[in-house]
Structure formats: C-alpha cells, structure tokens
Amino acid sequence: MIGNPVDYNKKYNNTSSIRGKAKLDISLKTYLKLLSGKNVLDLGIGEGQNSIPLSELGYHVTGVDYSTKALDICRNNSSNIKLIHDDIRNFIIEKDKYDLILSAGVLHFLHKDDVNHIIKEIKSNLKPNGLVYISVFSEKDPGLNKKENNIDFDRLDHNIFHNRLENTYISYFSRNEILKQFSDFTTILVSDEYSLDFFHGNPHYHGIIKYIGKKEKF
Ligand SMILES: C[S@@+](CC[C@H](N)C(=O)[O-])C[C@H]1O[C@@H](n2cnc3c(N)ncnc32)[C@H](O)[C@@H]1O
C-alpha cells in the first residue's frame, strides 16, 4: 500500500452529511436488470449514496469504508447494510459471492499501483456474469491543473499526484486506461463526462469516467 488512506472524517467536522439524500446513479439503475443475483459489494460506500437505494430495492449490500463518520451516517439511514470499517486496499473480496461490485468516486484517492491491485481483486473475485461499476476522476478534471500549481502536491508519472502534507495520493484516469484494465470484460457502458458537484464548497465541475462491465463466464 502506498501512502495513507484519505481522511474523510475531517470533511464531516462542519456538516452532518456531505451527500444529502441518497440517490442511485442513473446509469447503474438502468443496467441492474442484467444482474442474476442480489449480492452487492460497495468499496468506499461513504454515506450509502448508491447502496441505500440498492438495499431498498432488495439487494444484499456489504459496504467497506475507512471513514467511521461516513459509516455512522450510512448506518443511521439504513439498518440492512453490512458495514465494514477497513481500508479497501486491505480488503479481501470473497470469491464468487458478489453479483455487483461498485466503487463510486473512490479509486482516484489512491496511487494507481493500489488501484491496479484493487481492480485485479475485483476482476478475479466477482461472480461470473457479474457486473462492475466504477467512477473515477478523469484527466479532464479541472483539479488536475490546479494540482500542478499547488506546492503541497508533487506530480508523479501517469497523472498521479502526491500530497506531501497528508502523504496521500490522487490520480486522474483516461477512458482508455479504464477500458484497458477491463479488456477481458464486456463493456456495458463507458462515459467521459463533466458533472457539477454541489455537495461541498462552491459548486464546481469534475471530469468523471464511469464504467460498467460484465465478467463473462469463460
Ligand atoms: C467521494 S466519497 C464517495 C462515497 C460513495 N461511494 C458515494 O458515491 O457517495 C469517497 C469515499 O471513499 C472513502 N475512501 C477513500 N479512500 C479509502 C480507502 N483507502 N479505504 C476505504 N475507504 C476509502 C472515503 O472515506 C469516502 O467515504
């Protein structure tokens, strides 16, 4: 593991919720019909933005997060989700248990070597015919250029930045990078979009890559 996990607890100092009411991502909702089972793993579940609605739809959700405060919020809003406090870089995914593994807005908070490891874990342990859903910051994210001029960050290769004060990493991805990671999956959806983030601070744009893929039965 490279560096520290990002400390999301700090973000809850002045607020009781960052995300507000949970709402299932529309792309994910569209493709739920492809799932043949009900077991879901959410890596970096946060407050349960996707997983609370999934649980309400009857899915059996396990969520992992490093932030105890995010987990408390999730727990207060849903009693049906199994919550695990762990660093997702350590978490061992049970083989052939999950029909859907998702990680929304999380993997960009890691060094890409750690991301590669997690994606390998997901790919080898997801059930055959299962789906993966991932969203990450893209190289078009305006935050990338801002990091170039920020003295707290060192730029490494492949659009990875090191935060010297926190010893954390932030990574930006291209669409092709994500497609290459999942070249042995069938692509269901890939999008490279801008979306307005009005959940914290002043409203600002993010460049986001979303990927949904299916692990074929070989
Ligand atoms: C932007 S929030 C996204 C939360 C949720 N997936 C959503 O879509 O609303 C990022 C979450 O990732 C968690 N996180 C970041 N790095 C982590 C790590 N290494 N291990 C576990 N959780 C992590 C944070 O604690 C935070 O709750």
What are 103-148's pLDDT values in tens digits? 999 999 999 999 999 999 999 999 999 999 999 999 999 999 999 8
- What is the value of pTM for the model shown? 0.97
Q: What is the pLDDT of residue 11?
A: 85
Q: Is the CB of 83 under 6 A from ligand 1?
A: no
- With respect to residue 3, please indicate whether it lies within any of the assigned structural domains: no
Distance 176 CA to ligand 1 centre (A): 23
Please report the sign of the dihedral spanned by the C-alpha atoms of residue 48, residue 54, residue 117, residue 160: negative
CATH number at residue 198: 3.40.50.150
39 found inside a domain: yes
Is the CB of residue 137 below 6 angstroms from any atom belonging to ligand 1? Answer: no
The domain tally of the chain equals 1
Q: Does residue 2 fall inside a structural domain?
A: no
Minimum-distance ligand 1 atom for the alpha carbon of 49: 9
Q: Which atom of ligand 1 is nearest to the CA of 67?
A: 25
Q: Which among 9, 66, 83 is the best mutation to test ligand 1's pocket, defined by most ligand atoms within 8 Å of the CB?
A: 66
Task: Decide if 101 is inside a domain.
Answer: yes
pLDDT at 218 over 70: no
Domain range spanning residue 106? Answer: 8-13+22-214
29 CB within 6 A, ligand 1: no
In a domain, 1, yes or no: no
Q: Please check whether residue 151 lies inside any domain of the structure.
A: yes
Ligand 1 atom closest to the CA of 42, numbered from 1: 6
